[in-house]
């Protein structure tokens, strides 16, 4: 099973928006660009919502039937580990093997020395086509990097073999993720990681490094855009080199996690893709849940009341909601509207505060981030929330499709006219 050149991960927390999401891919396909949808949901999201992995497959299959989608589509067991993968074995065909926690853990005895012996090509001056300056990799650098990632790449091998034993070789797509960690991986580190994954026999088709800069939930990129563009281009070059050098799958490509709403790096990404003709996977999740909130609000009446109620509860519970996400949100509490203020807002005012139009006078990124991590509130509401998703479906699905197509797929993948 091969992942196509362009693929786009969508998250559908409450399993109501798969058709609206797929419609965005159809709109791109109608304009001649095939972007393969991948429905992703992590163990953590399932736990918060109270759902089980087969529900993602069921929602994806139903959307594909409804839309008459004939291109491939996938269901991603997102950020799985050995202890959480089993529930996903029956219904996923895409596995994001998360080994970030093993980065920096000590390697086994002799492992690093054996790696360095196996890879004499990695020491010295490395000229990689597409990377401006050659890398100078000292033996001591290589030992340090190999040591830092030995456990993580070995763990990827263990998890990959566990999945392979259940599903059979070649019957699923393998992604390896290292994004949920503190420090970004340099292009040189990425090269060593790919060599180690190849040694482990992991046929990685897409890899999610941690990139430079902040990827806060549901809002724009924060960081040095020129530096990001340089590193992103170098990462692409390293992947192409690793495919040839280590015999990794020819379709190996980068995966950008927390990729929704990072509008200021989309043009740099598109330029890098155009220069290299590389593929790309972009993973999004919570941006669709925020469109559900916007659609509820736009619907007015009970929908608006529910949206305000969710916000009020999230506001009151903000410390607990935000704590697990400290490294991926930046909320200034003084910029949050109080529930009492929000109670007086019109549907349009509420929607404009949450909808991600950078520079729009009413857009409130602090409020948007709080709602992003507030899906637990909706999960707790249960049927009251789910029922209103049905009642307000027209406005919600319109917003879901428009957000993915206009603000994500178009600037990332479609040639700008």
Does residue 257 belong to the site contacting Zn ion (CB under 5 A)?
Answer: yes
Nearer to Zn ion, 48 or 123 (CB): 48
Closest by CA position to 15, among listed 232, 289, 339, 342? 289
Q: Which of these segments, 35-43, 216-224, 256-264, 295-303, binds Zn ion (CB under 5 A)?
A: 256-264
CB of 208 to Zn ion, least distance (A): 6
**Which is closer to Zn ion, CB of 174 or CB of 313?**
174
Instruction: Considering the complex, state which of residue 148 and residue 281 has its C-beta at the smaller distance from Zn ion.
Output: 281
Q: 278: phi > 0 → left, psi -120 to 50 → alpha, else beta; which?
A: beta
The span from the CA of 211 to the CA of 235, in Å, is 10
Determine the Cα–Cα distance for residues 196 and 407; give it in Å rounded to an integer: 37
- Report the nearest approach of Zn ion to the CB of residue 338 (Å): 33
CB of 263 to Zn ion, least distance (A): 19
Q: Shortest approach of Zn ion to residue 177 CB, angstroms?
A: 5
Q: Is 261 in the site for Zn ion (CB under 5 A)?
A: no
Alpha carbon distance 212, 414 (integer Å):
25
- Cα separation, 87 vs 76, whole angstroms: 12
Measured distance CA(324)–CA(326) in Å, rounded: 6
Determine the interface stretch with Zn ion among 8-16, 50-58, 172-180, 385-393 (rule: CB under 5 A): 172-180
For the bound state, the minimum distance from the C-beta of residue 285 to Zn ion, rounded and expressed in Å, comes to 9
Q: Tell me whether residue 257 or residue 355 sits nearer to Zn ion (CB atom).
A: 257
Q: What token pair was written down for 156?
A: 């990827």
Q: Would you say 56 and 15 are in contact if contact means Cβ atoms under 8 Å apart?
A: yes
Stretch that binds Zn ion, among 7-15, 57-65, 177-185, 216-224 (CB under 5 A): 177-185
Separation in Å, CA 126 to CA 50, 100, 117: 49, 26, 17
Contact track, Zn ion, 363-402, x by CB under 5 A = ----------------------------------------
| Cβ atoms of residues 196 and 151 within 8 Å | no
The backbone torsions φ and ψ at residue 38, rounded to the nearest 5 degrees and listed phi first, read -130, 115
Give the binding range for Zn ion (CB under 5 A) out of 136-144, 157-165, 179-187, 337-345.
Answer: 179-187
- Cα Rg, the chain, nearest whole Å: 22
Regarding 179 and contact with Zn ion (CB under 5 A), the answer is yes
Minimum distance, C-beta of residue 143 to Zn ion, in the bound complex (Å):
28
Structure tokens, 178: 């290292």
Q: Where does this chain bind Zn ion (CB under 5 A)? A: 179, 257
């Amino acid at each position: 099973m091969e992942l196509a050149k362009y693929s786009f991960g969508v998250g559908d927390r409450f399993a109501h928006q798969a058709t609206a999401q797929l419609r965005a891919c159809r709109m791109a396909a109608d304009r001649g660009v095939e972007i393969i949808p991948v429905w992703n949901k992590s163990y953590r999201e399932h736990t918060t919502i109270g759902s089980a992995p087969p529900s993602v497959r069921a929602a994806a299959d139903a959307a594909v039937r409804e839309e008459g989608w004939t291109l491939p589509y996938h269901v991603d067991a997102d950020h799985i580990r050995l202890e959480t993968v089993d529930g996903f074995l029956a219904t996923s065909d895409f596995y994001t093997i998360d080994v970030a926690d093993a980065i920096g853990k000590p390697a086994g005895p002799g492992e690093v020395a054996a790696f360095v012996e196996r890879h004499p090509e990695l020491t010295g001056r490395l000229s990689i086509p597409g990377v401006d300056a050659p890398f100078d990799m000292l033996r001591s650098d290589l030992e340090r990097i190999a040591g830092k990632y030995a456990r993580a790449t070995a763990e990827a091998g263990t998890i990959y073999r566990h999945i392979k034993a259940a599903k059979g070789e070649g019957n699923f797509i393998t992604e390896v993720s290292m994004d949920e960690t503190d420090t970004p991986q340099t292009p040189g580190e990425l090269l060593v990681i790919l060599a180690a994954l190849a040694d482990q026999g992991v046929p990685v088709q897409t890899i999610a490094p941690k990139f430079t800069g902040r990827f806060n939930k549901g809002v724009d990129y924060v960081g040095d855009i020129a530096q990001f563009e340089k590193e992103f281009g170098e990462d692409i070059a390293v992947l192409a080199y690793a495919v040839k050098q280590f015999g990794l799958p020819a379709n190996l490509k980068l995966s950008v996690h927390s990729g929704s709403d990072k509008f200021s790096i989309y043009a740099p990404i598109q330029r890098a893709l155009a220069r290299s003709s590389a593929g790309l996977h972009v993973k999004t999740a919570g941006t669709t849940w925020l469109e559900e909130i916007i659609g509820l609000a736009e619907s007015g009446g009970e929908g608006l009341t529910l949206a305000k109620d969710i916000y009020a509860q999230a506001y009151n519970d903000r410390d607990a909601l935000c704590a697990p996400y400290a490294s991926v949100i930046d909320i200034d509490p003084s910029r949050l509207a109080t529930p009492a203020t929000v109670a007086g807002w019109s549907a349009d005012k509420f929607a404009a505060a949450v909808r991600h139009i950078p520079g729009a006078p009413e857009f409130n990124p602090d409020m948007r981030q709080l709602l992003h991590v507030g899906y637990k509130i909706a999960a707790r509401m249960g049927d009251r929330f789910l029922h209103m998703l049905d009642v307000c479906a027209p406005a919600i699905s319109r917003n879901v499709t428009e957000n993915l197509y206009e603000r994500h797929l178009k600037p990332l993948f479609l040639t700008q006219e």
